[in-house]
Amino acid sequence: MQNVLITGTNRGIGKALVEEALRQGAEHVYAGTRTPLTHRDSRVTYLDLDVTDQAQIEAAAKTVESLDVLVNNAGLAAYDNLSDRALLEQHLAVNLFGPLAVTTAFLPQLIASRGAIVNVLSVAALASLPIIPAYSISKAAAFSLTQAQRALLAPQGVHVHAVLTGPTDTDMSRDLDVPKASPESVARAIFDGVAAGDEEIFPDALSAMLAPSWTDGAVKALERQNAALIG
């Protein structure tokens, strides 16, 4: 890895991704955050980057001259029962339109480097988790966005990866009485998957159960068939 930008780095998986990028030898890590932070390693530059703030996104894109890997990690997850439309719209703003806006702003750098986009999603994108339905809906939309980006950007040499996470020991799922992966192990699996060229990355024990049948499964077969329509 050379230059990496990660959104949502103030805690959880995002914070672990910064450390893992450094461990794997990144030359520079741009860490997007809503709150001011500092880092002991001079290779880390924190950027004011609220993924719902177009002005901040554009300012960050002007700061970063060269980029090899963009990790769209920033996300929102709130427990609800779909009774609050405004809450669903907030989830879509962060989990769908945020990655779209950030990717669009940094696309020139990624095309120049023939780089990679990594969208951190969830297994809830495949089967809704009813206790967080707005989150599930927004991640399902973000998965569709990822598939569209993959097909549309392939001719320009940009690789697009989908990370389908299961329960991770973060603020979102800390109170759930289910086995959870550590943010550190998830971050390691994400960058290992990017290095291996995996289009879908299954970074924990739960999501890994999908991996053996994924490549030859119905979802990938349809994705390949639909992508072929572009050419």
Q: Would you call 30 a catalytic residue per the annotation?
A: no
pTM of the model: 0.95
| Residue among 157, 135, 161, 156 nearest 146 (CA) | 161
Contact 133, 80 (CB under 8 A): yes
| DSSP code string of 62-120 | HH----SEEEE---------S--HHHHHHHHIIIIIHHHHHHHHHHHHHHHHT-EEEEE
Written as tens digits, the pLDDT of the chain (231 aa) is: 699 999 999 999 999 999 999 999 999 999 999 988 889 999 999 999 999 999 999 999 999 999 999 999 999 999 999 999 999 999 999 999 999 999 999 999 999 999 999 999 999 999 999 999 999 999 999 999 999 999 999 999 999 999 999 988 877 666 677 778 999 999 999 999 999 999 999 999 999 999 999 999 999 999 999 999 997
Give residues with Cβ within 8 angstroms of 76, minimum separation 6: 90, 91, 94, 95, 135, 138
Tokens read off for 153? 């950007």
Contact 115, 159 (CB under 8 A): yes
CA 129 from chain centre, in angstroms, equals 19
CA distance 78 to 215: 31
| H/E stretch holding 159 | strand 159-163
